Chains A and B, each alone.
Chain A
């Protein structure tokens, strides 16, 4: 575990274990993440990378151990308070998870609507992030009419529109061609440079780039194999 730099850690995992029946998906994982870090979670397929992200946004509850997000113990969060935890995250998935019957604008705006924001504010914010992600002209398109790269850019827009402090990306470039993948990575890097903490799970270690505050966490068979600083 890295020595504290004095800043309060935004994410802390203590002996986190996740079992599915008799199988261990995560086995005694412990590490801390400082605000503004870019964490690359690497490992082979089935290592537990996605499971690690899922326990962070409480799609799954851990079998043992504790997770603290900004000092908040996830074990104490009731189902009624869960939506409010999830609003602290922006999430990007390999399969995009866009609502096919809603337009690009509506998909991105959903984050702000559930938070109860006013329509004028929603329009302003959504159009801004669509501009940044280069999807402004496709605001009224439906996701199935877009390419994979475009859909993932919309997903990134949705992940960042609420200005979350933490972005979780689970294989965000897994189903994209290299050019689209680079565009998505560039967007994530852009938000990282603005101060967002990003955790990105990927089995493609070539995607690691030179970050000012980047670390690589290696997971294998559910165990933490190593943590290293990413060197340019």
Chain B
């Protein structure tokens, strides 16, 4: 194996320009895919936080009395997907409001009665799918003692839809760029093979097996893929370090933002994928050439 690795490195050095082009192509494809991954990872986390971890408020009608609470809770549980239900009586809700509004609560002392309804704060078990949350909320709203359900359906719902659209576009573009990288890698291997055709013919004459001939190419493909992946991740990291602190500082006053780099698992998946890409490009090229 060391022999094949040494041969592969020698061949990469002797065709430096071609190999640099291939590694750069893989790096740029990986960069694009990683940018999408970074965007989706962080946006998903932010949306989850904005979605208050799947929490919603069920505002009960004015006809509700505390004696009806067990029945209402039972009805909610029967809908399914609800992990926790906390009853917030109107008195507690008013105290909370006074605390949140701070000094601006003087107008509340003029009120004759508490205008706030009784409410139930619910936490959903699975809040990753906004459509599902919406359907569940509609079923809750249909219950007799329920007036309205708040779960961020306004702007958050629209944002989720946009996010999903971006996700699909991201997948499609990533797939396209990976295909381009694959074809360029396959073509590089083809060119390298034809450049070494005399050498390969002589190797065959002295009794080299297909495995002996092909293995250095496979090793070369693996190296190209791995180096391309590493380069792509490094470019992404430098971009992230440069931009992320600025973005967080400028926007954190208006919205909750906590931007992280890709997790170790995501980086490992990216590197594995790029290495596989390098090998696979080699495989499909050699399969055709040595048919």
User: In the complex, which residues of chain A have a beta carbon less than 8 angstroms from the beta carbon of B207?
Assistant: 83-87, 111, 114-115
Cα A228 to Cα B148 in complex, Å, equals 111
Cα A162 to Cα B208 in complex, Å, equals 13
Number of A positions contacting B (CB below 8 A)? 22
Determine which of A97, A101, A102, A114 lies in contact with B209 in the assembled complex, contact meaning CB atoms within 8 Å: A114
Do A99 and B208 have beta carbons less than 8 Å apart?
no
Interface core residue of B205, B207, B208 (most chain A CB under 10 Å): B207
User: In the complex, which residues of chain A have a beta carbon less than 8 angstroms from the beta carbon of B204?
Assistant: 83, 86
Q: A83-B207, A114-B207, A115-B207 are in contact. Are A99 and B202 (CB under 8 A)?
A: yes
Output the nearest chain B residue to A159 by Cβ-Cβ distance: B206
Cα A80 to Cα B206 in complex, Å, equals 14
User: In the complex, which residues of chain A have a beta carbon less than 8 angstroms from the beta carbon of B203?
Assistant: 110, 114
Cα A97 to Cα B201 in complex, Å, equals 9
Query: Which parts of B100-116 form the interface with A (CB within 8 Å)?
Result: none
User: In the complex, which residues of chain B have a beta carbon less than 8 angstroms from the beta carbon of A19?
Assistant: none
**Is the CB of A113 closer than 8 A to any CB of chain B?**
yes
**Is the CB of A215 closer than 8 A to any CB of chain B?**
no
Q: Mark B190-219, 1 if CB is under 8 A from A, else 0.
A: 000000001101111111111010000000
**Is the CB of A91 closer than 8 A to any CB of chain B?**
yes
Cα A232 to Cα B208 in complex, Å, equals 40
User: In the complex, which residues of chain A have a beta carbon less than 8 angstroms from the beta carbon of B3?
Assistant: 113
Q: How close is A183's CB to chain B, nearest CB, in angstroms?
A: 22
Do A111 and B199 have beta carbons less than 8 Å apart?
no
Cα A113 to Cα B211 in complex, Å, equals 13
Do A86 and B202 have beta carbons less than 8 Å apart?
no
**Is the CB of B14 closer than 8 A to any CB of chain A?**
yes
**Is the CB of A158 closer than 8 A to any CB of chain B?**
yes
Q: How close is B212's CB to chain A, nearest CB, in angstroms?
A: 5
User: In the complex, which residues of chain A have a beta carbon less than 8 angstroms from the beta carbon of B199?
Assistant: 99, 101-102
Determine which of B201, B206, B209, B210 lies in contact with A111 in the assembled complex, contact meaning CB atoms within 8 Å: B206
Output the nearest chain B residue to A110 by Cβ-Cβ distance: B206
Q: A97-B202, A101-B199, A114-B203 are in contact. Are A83 and B209 (CB under 8 A)?
A: yes
Query: Which parts of A80-124 form the interface with B (CB within 8 Å)?
Result: 80, 83-87, 91, 97-102, 110-111, 113-115
Cα A59 to Cα B201 in complex, Å, equals 11
Cα A114 to Cα B3 in complex, Å, equals 11
Q: How close is B200's CB to chain A, nearest CB, in angstroms?
A: 10
Q: A99-B199, A101-B199, A114-B212 are in contact. Are A86 and B206 (CB under 8 A)?
A: yes
Output the nearest chain A residue to B200 by Cβ-Cβ distance: A99
Cα A100 to Cα B199 in complex, Å, equals 8
Cα A163 to Cα B47 in complex, Å, equals 73
Given A80-B209, A80-B210, A97-B205, output 5 extra A-B contacts at Cβ < 8 Å. Answer: A86-B205, A111-B206, A114-B203, A114-B208, A115-B207
CB-defined A-B contacts under 8 Å, sample of 18: A57-B205, A80-B209, A83-B204, A83-B207, A83-B208, A86-B204, A86-B205, A87-B206, A91-B206, A97-B201, A97-B205, A110-B206, A110-B208, A111-B206, A113-B3, A114-B207, A115-B207, A162-B206
A-B pairs, 5 with minimum CB distance: A87-B207, A86-B207, A114-B208, A83-B207, A83-B209
